[in-house]
């Protein structure tokens, strides 16, 4: 993304009628650190010049960690940037899918980047992708992650979405197997003693259960998440809609920052109107058909489209593994007399 495009993004997002008093800006997808620290320094300076004084902006980067050095950590410290490291677990699990073009794994270099953060005392969290080979190693996975001292651990699943047309979980894993994996993860987390484990998925699930109201699902609410491609194309709803193949992706490009006078202009775009209508129909169907709706809020549009071929679809494998299984297992653990878990509603 050029700095000129960054400037146009800032102009649009600070449009007063649509913005509250806090904003998260996260660079992710691909590998953000292939651009040098100087680029982000300039990009953030551009954003800060246009930022209204009463709006707090929090910056984040999701990275594979392989390029982290002292220059990057200097920038992280200067701008208080939240750092997420994509690490799928021990070497054999991580290197199974995270390879360089020459076929070698990236685990060793990821650990070198983590060591740099640790040496400087800079906080980071983990996001790992769970595949079929991970399922029998839930306890080991938590022990491994926790050994690095992360602020939190998030467990994504290998999804069937956008251009990822294969998922070992969808082919080789039952709901019961995945629930056993979650149970192993939670039991391992509870045994960490004086090193409490912050599990993103446990926190989110329990917060939703405690609230007792439908989850505020960012993926089905227009402009709750604003997704900007490298060239300034604008989308909303699921970020991965921008990762669809070209013919499909065009359906979800609702404008471009270089051509929009105001961000609200995209709401009158015919493609937006069509997509929002279909997404809303899907949410309504979920609400009427699914007993887990209040813990989900209507699912993820990109997963409905990728798995079922329609934004109007309801239950998906993504729902089963990321919502239903977690709700059932968390309820079992929460109701146990000897449960050792705490929930932060701020996460």
Domain with residue 15: its CATH number is: 3.20.20.70
Same domain? 192 vs 233: no
In a domain, 161, yes or no: yes
Q: Where are the alpha helices (DSSP H) in the chain?
A: 3-13, 37-50, 70-79, 91-97, 107-120, 138-146, 168-172, 175-190, 200-211, 246-249, 270-289, 301-308, 317-319, 325-334
Residue 143 included in any domain:
yes
Let me know whether 196 and 133 are in one domain. yes
CA-closest candidate to residue 327, choices 152, 212, 217, 206:
206
Among the candidates 211, 241, 257, a domain finishes at: 211
Cβ neighbours of residue 92 under 8 Å, at least 6 residues apart?
Answer: none
* Count of Cβ atoms closer than 10 Å to residue 327 Cβ: 19
- Do 36 and 171 reside in the same domain of the chain? yes
For the chain, what is the domain count?
2
pTM for the full predicted model? 0.92
- Which structural domain range is residue 293 located in? 218-333
Q: Answer whether residue 138 is part of any domain.
A: yes
Are residues 197 and 272 both part of a single domain?
no
CA pair distance 85, 115, nearest whole angstrom: 12
On whether residue 55 sits in a domain, the answer given is: yes
Which among 196, 211, 226 is the end of a domain? 211
Indicate if 133 and 248 belong to the same structural domain: no
Residue with tokens 């953060």: 117
Residues 159 and 305 in one domain: no
Eight-class DSSP state of 321: I
282 and 174 co-located in one domain: no
Domain-located, residue 343: no
User: Does one domain contain both 188 and 81?
Assistant: yes
Flag whether 345 is in a domain. Answer: no
For residues 205 and 222, state if they share a domain.
Answer: no
* Calpha distance 281→313 (Å, rounded): 9
Q: Does residue 258 share a domain with residue 186?
A: no
Beta-carbon-side half-sphere exposure of residue 160 (alpha carbons within 13 Å): 19
CB 296 within 8 A of CB 323: yes
Which residue, 191, 211, 231, sits at the end of a domain? 211
Could you list the pLDDT tens digit for every one of the 347 residues in the chain?
999 999 999 999 997 677 888 999 999 988 999 999 999 999 999 999 999 999 999 999 999 999 999 999 999 999 999 999 999 999 999 999 999 889 999 999 999 999 999 999 999 999 999 999 999 999 999 999 999 999 999 999 999 887 788 899 998 899 999 999 999 999 999 887 777 889 999 999 988 888 877 678 999 999 999 999 999 999 999 999 999 988 899 999 999 999 999 999 999 999 999 999 999 999 999 999 999 998 889 999 999 999 999 999 999 999 999 999 999 999 998 877 666 656 555 54
């Amino acid at each position: 993304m050029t700095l000129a495009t960054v400037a146009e993004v800032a102009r649009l997002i600070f449009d007063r009628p649509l913005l509250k008093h806090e904003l998260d800006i996260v660079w992710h997808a691909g590998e953000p650190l292939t651009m040098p620290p100087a680029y982000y320094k300039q990009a953030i300076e551009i954003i800060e010049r246009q930022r209204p004084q009463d709006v707090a902006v929090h910056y984040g980067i999701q990275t594979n960690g392989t390029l982290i050095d002292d220059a990057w950590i200097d920038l992280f410290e200067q701008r208080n940037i939240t750092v997420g490291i994509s690490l799928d677990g021990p070497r054999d699990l991580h290197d199974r899918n995270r390879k360089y073009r020459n076929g070698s794994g990236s685990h060793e270099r990821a650990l070198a980047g983590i060591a740099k953060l640790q040496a400087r005392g800079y906080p980071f969290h983990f996001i790992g992708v769970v595949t079929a080979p991970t399922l029998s190693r839930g306890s080991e996975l938590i022990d491994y992650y926790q050994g690095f001292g992360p602020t939190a651990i998030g467990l994504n699943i290998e999804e069937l979405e956008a251009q990822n047309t294969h998922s070992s979980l969808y082919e080789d894993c039952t709901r019961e197997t995945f629930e056993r994996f979650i149970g192993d993860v939670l039991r391992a987390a509870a045994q960490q003693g004086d090193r409490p484990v912050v599990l993103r998925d446990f926190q989110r699930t329990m917060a939703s259960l405690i609230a007792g109201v439908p989850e505020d699902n960012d993926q089905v609410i227009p402009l709750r998440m604003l997704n900007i491609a490298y060239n300034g194309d604008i989308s909303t709803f699921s970020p991965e809609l921008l990762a669809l193949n070209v013919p499909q992706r065009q359906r979800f490009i609702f404008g471009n920052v270089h051509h929009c006078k105001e961000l609200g202009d995209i709401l009158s775009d015919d493609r937006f109107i069509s997509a929002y209508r279909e997404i809303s129909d899907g949410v309504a169907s979920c609400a009427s058909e699914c007993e887990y709706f209040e813990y989900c809020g209507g699912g993820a549009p990109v997963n409905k489209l990728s798995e079922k071929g329609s934004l109007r679809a309801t239950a998906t494998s993504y729902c089963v593994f990321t919502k239903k299984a977690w709700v059932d297992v968390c309820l079992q653990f929460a109701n146990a007399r000897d449960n050792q878990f705490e929930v932060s509603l701020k996460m």
